[in-house]
Structure 1
């Protein structure tokens, strides 16, 4: 327990100390009341943060506490990032002999203004209906009858403490306007149980497609009743690909839509849940092209080894708040976009439709993706 508390305290100091130092204590020479007020606010903010996180995401699951804690996390991350950058600029100006006595105060004001602007813009980006990203993906094994198949991808909707039922309805409208043959939800549907997020998930029942609507679990489902979410999506008219596949046909040609549980499923202790590609493909004709839905991009080595034609994933959120994508890259092979893995397999990683936790997206826009599948051997471009 002492070690855990020490680690928590160290992390809090790392996050909160640079902003406090840059804004109030780096030679800014603010009047004493300003310095004391700023210091007191940062101290209260830092001390209250872990308690809010526990109240919001612990056993109590208080949505109100979660909203405050998540917003705090996003704010302090942006302030931390730009305070570090501001500190580097400050050192550079000192080395160049530029700025004089007002240098520290100018840097503090610049950091505050930039951070406030990015947070306001980032909140707008997180809360708006995502823009549609359109991309042609050429699959050499795809039959001519399926050429032009329109696959709409949703991922990481993360219905959560902020009620986004109206947002969910508008996302559904945007999806239906794309006239999809197949709609994919690549997991992390919500932070909360199906009962808690029933209103927010309800609009998914109105999503339309010609051939299929398929869904796989993400890692967040395994903290909030994964089996319940599989059942809820089935209730809403989706095909839960719980280590299974369905085949769709058009123009005499067949495409296999397969899905696996998230890679964290096995460690969840939930009986019958694990990422099982062999089980997902059992009974599928090996001559038919396969579109695999797997929540995390790092599943792609197994997909490539099995000769999957296209894997669709989410999970990364494109980093969500810059420069977090550098950390995501240490865990995942791709942060977003189309990539090739091995001779046959391509991977499309969605930047995510919603957001997790902090209601901000900074230099990492959300997306609804329209993939148009093309047959033949022409080169594929991202």
Structure 2
């Protein structure tokens, strides 16, 4: 297909596709995949600024197939995670992608955590998730090296390589995927949307879907929409456990419901290694995978957003602790030892970090659920936190359904 070259970005003269998706992570690729299933023959183009799929949030996480136990019954997170976990296992089985349903432990190590643990039991049952309550002796049956006052076993949790899943989605969708296509201009009219990349290519489409993850708010503003939020990047730093025999499966602490983070946990991956982490520290760039990566534009965006200041004033104590654990390996080790007393600092080897695209509202609220907003000929995915990878198939279907509804009505 020949696309328009450098020049104007008008939307006259026809279109190149029915749907243009910005973002080649797992949500964007799941949307393309869902469109091919719901409406065969729909022409879809995916624009991805990197040289391959799943280079950011999708490819830099723990690889967990989440059960949905943490999420408020009736929320999009709960609905999509529970159905998405089962669909993800089925998708992997159909396409020969290595995966495993391991189950996991959520362990209370302090008495003050027990009420929250019991609340998770009730929430899990309301969401239809298999949950078993455990005492200290039963914990060691699952994880001999883990100590706690009480725990719950969640049977439907699993592990997978989401990079492999994304590659399969890209292949199965039949979409045309254009790599190295960073978007710098969007022009929207009543009949179509035109998008220009930094290389000067122009793509015209009947519908636009914004799945740009760490840059989704910027894409929304390029389209002329006020997203009502900003992405504040939080880096999650991981270690690999040099003695993986200490952990059999997945072990999590009891999360603090005030924050949309699950705390430092232990995850045995598909390859047999054990990932430890992540913490959650403010990143100095939207793609800031270490402290040395600093992007003044990204920092300026954060400082200009009132919600960032309100969030900081509300949660500075929590943030200070996370930064301390980032800068001090001993402090990080102490956090791990709450669950795994046998671990020592030499057992932890630095691993690749990830960055979470956390949406923050003007009033400082950290958006906890998925946030999907409709605009003229455009759908913006403005918050797709964990368990977005787990829930990607039903999320993609939800977005595709909205797209087709708009196209049918046009």
In which range does the TM-score fall when normalised by the shorter chain? under 0.3
Higher relative CO (CA 8 A, sep ≥ 6), structure 1 or 2?
Answer: 2
Higher helix share: 1
Larger radius of gyration: 1
Higher strand share: 2
TM-score relative to the length of structure 2: 0.25
TM-score relative to the length of structure 1: 0.26
